[in-house]
Structure 1
Amino acid sequence: MSTETGLDQEAAQLRVKLVQALVDAGDLTDPAWRDAFESVPRHTYVPYFYDHTGRTIAADDPETRDQWLRAVHENRQLVTHRTDGSATSSSSMPSLMARMLEALQVTNGMHVLEVGTGTGYNAALLAHRLGDASVVTIDVSSDITGPARERLAAAGLRPLVLTGDGAFGWPDKAPYDRIMVTCRLRAVPLELVRQVPLDGSILAPLGNALARIRRVGALVAQGRFLPGGAFFMPLRRGAVDGQPTRRPALPDALGRPTRLPAAAIADNDFRFLVSIAVPGLTWQYDLDDERKPTGARVWAPDGSIAQLKADGTVAEAGPRNLWSALEGAYDTFLGAGAPGPERYGAVITEATQRVWLDTPGGPSWALTQ
């Protein structure tokens, strides 16, 4: 069995390959952030994870040790915390972390709040780049923050790690030049806007893409979405909040034709619009041998459910016609030329929050918590 020193050496070699892959893919371009990814070992912050069956893959398990070591040095998301059988925290894909950290646009001396501590790996990257005193990180559960704090301390890093509701930020240490949210939001909490100064910014996943929102006035902020998708677990504000909604009973009605094909639900650009226009959905797919959708079930917290069948028909049940709402979003999507997230923007005020397409006067959708 490898000693700890042997493990660290093996991990260092794999980390070099991972960082080079991020550079080659164009996800890591800033020399300061490259230094952080080269210096901060991901494996020390992810000593175990859960595979798709819920099995634990761990460094201290001889049967899974090699699988664990490979996985933590691959560009993949790893589920690291489960609550009542549901995944509730993870270590994000390194490529997405790199893109977010670069999009944060920090400079030396800036003060950063991270909402969503997770494993502590992202806080470690921030602390390496900016220094311990410049980083505050918060998560909802001590089951998450306790181990993260211990891992950071073992690595000689001591950013402020707090347990609390990330939607409220941490006003005691405000203002923050930048706030980085690493969990999906349905709307931007106004407390976070309060905790950045004028021209300070919040980088957060709104729906399934990243928005960079700049404060421009008293509780007024605006910004644009960045290209590409960003799939995060939802912000949790309690023990069960943020967990997937249980699937309602399947519709027993006969199917009807639909103008929304199965292929469209795999389109990330369309799915971004869905995440804004029809938020809070949970999906299950039927996939062919090429892992392309041939059918699906989608449901909402209000009990609405739709089933797209293999014959291309759809059936709906519950308090609203869920698939009809998706068809309406698809009509907008096609009519606008299949826009990606970079064509959308957002405006946040104390009274309203809206995401708009192309211009503030274009099609728009209200955001609600």
Structure 2
Amino acid sequence: MTDDLLDLDAATLRSRLVAALADDGNLTEEVWRAAFEDVPRHVFVPYFYRPGPEGQRRISSDDPDQRKEWITAVYEDRALVTHLIDGNTASASSQPSVMAAMLQALEVKDGMNVLEIGTGTGYNAALLAHRLGDANVTTVDVDEEIVTAAEQRLSRAGYWPAVITADGASLRPTPGRFDRIIATCQIPRIPVDWFGDLSDNGFILAPIGAGVARIHRTTATTGSGRFLPGAAFFMPLRARGDSGIVRRPALPDTPARTTDLPVETIADNAFRFVASLAVPGITWQYDLDDAGKPVSARLWTADGSIADVRADGTVAEGGRLPPWSALENAHRFFVGHERPARDRFGLTVDQDGQRPWLDTPDNLF
């Protein structure tokens, strides 16, 4: 396949993807539809990884035998793993429908300045630059290798936003510079310093747990806002030199107790969102029966807290904040409030921490 034929094939596939996103109601604004029509995702994802029997399999545009599989996958509505560290997923190109929902939720206007946390492939930064112009977009990533590759791909596609290598969680505030901050990686907590970067009417759009929160600036160190209605699952924000993988601690040696929360509850996506608020940064590992239902599980957090939920209906826990106990409390709240939808939940953020709430900021969860 020559480059001319590749570009023609990509344009056809891209138009089909955009039409599908529009038909499904994920892409409703003409300015963003034009961006998705014009920005070539395949330039930003020249290869990706798929799990195989022998580990992650690299699918590349450079391999003639893989080119059809590669270009087809790039223009499907799917997330694609693009960077590994020690064999583990460290970066990915997000699902286009989720990207479209987040970009439209930014509610940007001409002339606004946007800071993106998590450059990744550079594709999202290109969409922002298409909409707002290069001078109004700054994108940051912690990994120099990722930043260098993204900058080259942006240039090839005809976009030149500011691309910076830095730890997004510890950026020094530039008072009032940005009208919007968008994180394209999951963050356990919104750094208070980000509010100092925002204009008075600015807001942060960030994946928190299994949802996306839109947090409006209230002062230079505080903010509050609600979650969007849709689910979202992103790679975690990484510090410099960090793979983003939270290794499982040793299983607890504490006595087991009976639990009234069935282990299969963790497969309930609606509750998984609430669980991600109750125990920020939780990691799951579970065993399935022949019907695909969880029968036992291990859950842990970065501070070393862990729960071993067993098939006999008992659980053993260890650490500073036993996670299964927190989930039992969260589930009682969830059921007691008749399984509230995501967009009924919100967050208040200040120097004392991050507090989730239901319906109103005074009704803490």
Would the aligned equivalents of 1:261 and 1:312 in 2 still touch at CA under 8 Å?
no
The one of 187, 206, 209 aligned to 1:207? 209
Q: Amino acid of the residue matched to residue 358 of structure 1?
A: D
TM-score by structure 1 length?
0.92
Deviations 1:162-184 (A, max 9, x none): 10011234645951111111111
Counterpart in 2 of 1:133?
135
Once the two structures are overlaid, the 10-residue window that deviates more, 120-129 or 348-357, is: 348-357
Deviation at 1:352, TM superposition (A): 3.6
Once the two structures are overlaid, the 10-residue window that deviates more, 262-271 or 187-196, is: 262-271
The one of 211, 217, 221 aligned to 2:219? 217
Structure 1 174/218 Cα, relative in aligned 2: closer, same or farther at 3 Å? closer
SS across alignment from 1:106: coil
Answering whether residue 144 of structure 2 is matched by residue 142 of structure 1, we say: yes
Q: Amino acid of the residue matched to residue 35 of structure 2?
A: A
Counterpart in 2 of 1:367?
none
SS across alignment from 2:69: helix
Q: Following the alignment from structure 1 to structure 2, what is the Cα–Cα distance between the partners of residues 108 and 51?
A: 38
Answering whether residue 306 of structure 2 is matched by residue 319 of structure 1, we say: no
Counterpart in 2 of 1:30?
29
Counterpart in 1 of 2:45?
46
Deviation at 1:217, TM superposition (A): 2.6
SS across alignment from 1:157: coil
- Counterparts in 2 of 1:142-161, with a 5 A limit? 142-161=144-163
Deviations 1:218-263 (A, max 9, x none): 42211111112111111112111x6222223445778654322233
Q: Following the alignment from structure 1 to structure 2, what is the Cα–Cα distance between the partners of residues 190 and 315?
A: 36
Deviation at 1:297, TM superposition (A): 2.1
Q: Amino acid of the residue matched to residue 194 of structure 1?
A: G
Would the aligned equivalents of 2:214 and 2:226 in 1 still touch at CA under 8 Å?
yes
Counterpart in 1 of 2:94?
92
Answering whether residue 8 of structure 2 is matched by residue 9 of structure 1, we say: yes
- Counterparts in 2 of 1:337-352, with a 5 A limit? 337-352=338-353
Q: Following the alignment from structure 2 to structure 1, what is the Cα–Cα distance between the partners of residues 280 and 70?
A: 34
Deviation at 1:312, TM superposition (A): 5.0
Deviation at 1:290, TM superposition (A): 5.6
Counterpart in 1 of 2:65?
63
Q: Percent identity?
A: 52
Once the two structures are overlaid, the 10-residue window that deviates more, 6-15 or 118-127, is: 6-15
Counterpart in 1 of 2:282?
281
SS across alignment from 1:198: strand
Answering whether residue 303 of structure 2 is matched by residue 299 of structure 1, we say: no
Would the aligned equivalents of 1:227 and 1:342 in 2 still touch at CA under 8 Å?
yes
Q: Following the alignment from structure 1 to structure 2, what is the Cα–Cα distance between the partners of residues 101 and 288?
A: 39
Would the aligned equivalents of 1:283 and 1:298 in 2 still touch at CA under 8 Å?
yes
Structure 1 174/77 Cα, relative in aligned 2: closer, same or farther at 3 Å? same
Unaligned runs of 5+ in 1: 365-369
Q: Following the alignment from structure 1 to structure 2, what is the Cα–Cα distance between the partners of residues 187 and 319?
A: 20
Counterpart in 1 of 2:165?
163
Deviations 1:81-103 (A, max 9, x none): 11222211110000100000000
Counterpart in 1 of 2:20?
21
Structure 1 292/38 Cα, relative in aligned 2: closer, same or farther at 3 Å? farther
Q: Following the alignment from structure 1 to structure 2, what is the Cα–Cα distance between the partners of residues 17 and 142?
A: 34
Q: Following the alignment from structure 1 to structure 2, what is the Cα–Cα distance between the partners of residues 156 and 77?
A: 23
SS across alignment from 1:326: helix
SS across alignment from 1:315: strand
Answering whether residue 272 of structure 2 is matched by residue 271 of structure 1, we say: yes
Would the aligned equivalents of 1:316 and 1:322 in 2 still touch at CA under 8 Å?
no
Structure 1 216/303 Cα, relative in aligned 2: closer, same or farther at 3 Å? closer
Deviation at 1:319, TM superposition (A): 2.5
The one of 180, 193, 198 aligned to 1:178? 180
Deviation at 1:66, TM superposition (A): 2.1
Structure 1 111/146 Cα, relative in aligned 2: closer, same or farther at 3 Å? same
Q: Following the alignment from structure 2 to structure 1, what is the Cα–Cα distance between the partners of residues 277 and 359?
A: 15
Structure 1 303/39 Cα, relative in aligned 2: closer, same or farther at 3 Å? same
Deviation at 1:288, TM superposition (A): 4.6
Structure 1 261/97 Cα, relative in aligned 2: closer, same or farther at 3 Å? same
Once the two structures are overlaid, the 10-residue window that deviates more, 198-207 or 101-110, is: 198-207
Cα RMSD for the two superposed structures: 2.0
Q: Amino acid of the residue matched to residue 315 of structure 1?
A: V
Structure 1 120/173 Cα, relative in aligned 2: closer, same or farther at 3 Å? farther
Q: Amino acid of the residue matched to residue 192 of structure 1?
A: W
The one of 189, 196, 199 aligned to 1:197? 199
Once the two structures are overlaid, the 10-residue window that deviates more, 245-254 or 204-213, is: 245-254
Counterpart in 2 of 1:229?
231
Structure 1 362/16 Cα, relative in aligned 2: closer, same or farther at 3 Å? same
